[in-house]
């Protein structure tokens, strides 16, 4: 019995040593650049501020708590946006829904794998799946905020939705996916950087606007979603820079 136990312990030790050696080989070239240097001090500070702000503000928006500013904002949108533009915003909301977005992400991953952009595809999958799990499986159940349509009949949603409201997965997911792709495109096509990021900002802004116009989310849901998306995007891009610093990391001199 003692011999068997000793033999098993040796196997465990050898396996641990082998795993450790493998991890050292995988991370050998990445350890040269500190994580804080890759993410940037300013971006890191902003991310920490966002985390603290969400942890403080989120509990104030749980359940059916009334936020007058949110109600006023949703009503105001319908006074300034013409119905014809509103119909376009409804289409945009549907186009950027979970099912369509999943198809777009899958297609993008397929293209990246086809072109052998292994690291880009890996961290896009991490970013897209990670933000989905973070919002839908962790944050929304924690805060449990109801959607506008469930709060009042006067704020009935213009599209069929279910689930909780805070923070907006629509907003967070759009920040992560479109700005991740904007980063890739801007890196490989630097001459078009201004136009690429301008397009991403415009489209992500429309996603948030369409969500509030359709009364699917409160304004604070969108702001929180954008903020959390920024944090998760920062993590994903930092990991990508760490994996491929020769392509995506350009320190300022």
Give backbone dihedrals phi and psi of 46, rounded to 5 degrees, phi first: -60, -45
Mean pLDDT of the 140-157 span: 81
First vs last Cα of the chain: how many Å apart? 63
Does the pLDDT of residue 58 top 90, yes or no? Answer: no
Which of 63-67, 72-76, 195-199 is predicted with the least confidence, judged by mean pLDDT? 63-67
String of DSSP letters for 178-242: HHHHHHHHHHH-GGGHHHHHHHHHHHHHHHHHHHHHTTSS-HHHHHHHHHHHHHHHHHHHHHHHH
pLDDT at res. 14: 41
Does the pLDDT of residue 246 top 90, yes or no? Answer: no
The answer to whether residues 72 and 217 touch, using CB atoms and an 8 Å cutoff, is no
Mean pLDDT of the 64-84 span: 88
Global pTM value = 0.82
The alpha carbon dihedral of 134, 135, 136, 139 has a sign of: positive
Angle at 125 between CA 123 and CA 129, to 5 degrees: 125
Does the pLDDT of residue 45 top 70, yes or no? Answer: yes
Average pLDDT of the chain is 84
Phi/psi-derived region of residue 185, left when phi > 0, alpha when psi is between -120 and 50, beta in every other case: alpha
Does the pLDDT of residue 8 top 50, yes or no? Answer: no
pLDDT band at 252 (very low <50, low <70, confident <90, very high): low
Does the pLDDT of residue 10 top 70, yes or no? Answer: no
Mean pLDDT of the 228-233 span: 96
Kindly report the length of the chain.
Answer: 253
Token digits of residue 227: 């903020």
Token digits of residue 48: 């920490």
- The rounded distance, in Å, linking the Cα atoms of 234 and 180 is 9
Does the pLDDT of residue 16 top 60, yes or no? Answer: no
Instruction: Give me the percent of the chain exceeding a pLDDT of 90.
Output: 56
Token digits of residue 74: 């949703």
Which of 41-55, 131-145, 153-167 is predicted with the least confidence, judged by mean pLDDT? 153-167
Q: Which residues make Cβ contacts (< 8 Å) with residue 130, sequence separation at least 6?
A: 232, 236
Residue 216 CB: number of other CB atoms within 10 A? 24
Segment 98-108, tens digit of pLDDT: 888 889 999 99
pLDDT band at 27 (very low <50, low <70, confident <90, very high): very low
pLDDT at res. 50: 95
User: Who wins on pLDDT, 163 or 240?
Assistant: 240
- The rounded distance, in Å, linking the Cα atoms of 77 and 251 is 42
- The rounded distance, in Å, linking the Cα atoms of 155 and 147 is 9
pLDDT band at 163 (very low <50, low <70, confident <90, very high): confident
């Amino acid at each position: 019995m003692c011999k068997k136990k000793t033999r098993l312990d040796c196997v465990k030790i050898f396996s641990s040593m082998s795993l450790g050696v493998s991890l050292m080989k995988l991370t050998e070239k990445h350890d040269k650049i500190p994580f804080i240097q890759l993410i940037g001090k300013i971006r890191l500070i902003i991310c920490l501020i966002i985390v603290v702000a969400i942890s403080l503000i989120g509990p104030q928006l749980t359940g059916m708590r009334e936020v007058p500013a949110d109600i006023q904002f949703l009503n105001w949108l319908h006074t300034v946006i013409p119905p014809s533009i509103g119909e376009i915003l409804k289409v945009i909301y549907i186009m950027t829904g979970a099912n369509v977005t999943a198809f777009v992400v899958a297609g993008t991953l397929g293209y990246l794998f086809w072109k052998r952009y292994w690291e880009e595809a890996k961290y896009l999958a991490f970013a897209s799946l990670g933000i989905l799990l973070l919002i839908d499986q962790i944050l929304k159940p924690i805060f449990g905020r109801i959607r506008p349509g469930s709060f009042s009949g006067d704020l009935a949603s213009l599209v069929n939705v279910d689930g909780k409201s805070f923070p907006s997965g629509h907003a967070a997911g759009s920040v992560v996916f479109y700005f991740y792709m904007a980063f890739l495109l801007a890196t490989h096509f630097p001459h078009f950087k201004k136009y690429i990021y301008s397009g991403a900002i415009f489209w992500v802004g429309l996603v948030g606007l369409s969500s509030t116009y359709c009364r699917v989310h409160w304004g604070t849901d969108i702001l929180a979603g954008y903020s959390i998306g920024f944090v998760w995007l920062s993590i994903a891009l930092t990991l990508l820079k760490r994996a491929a610093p020769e392509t995506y990391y350009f320190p300022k001199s």
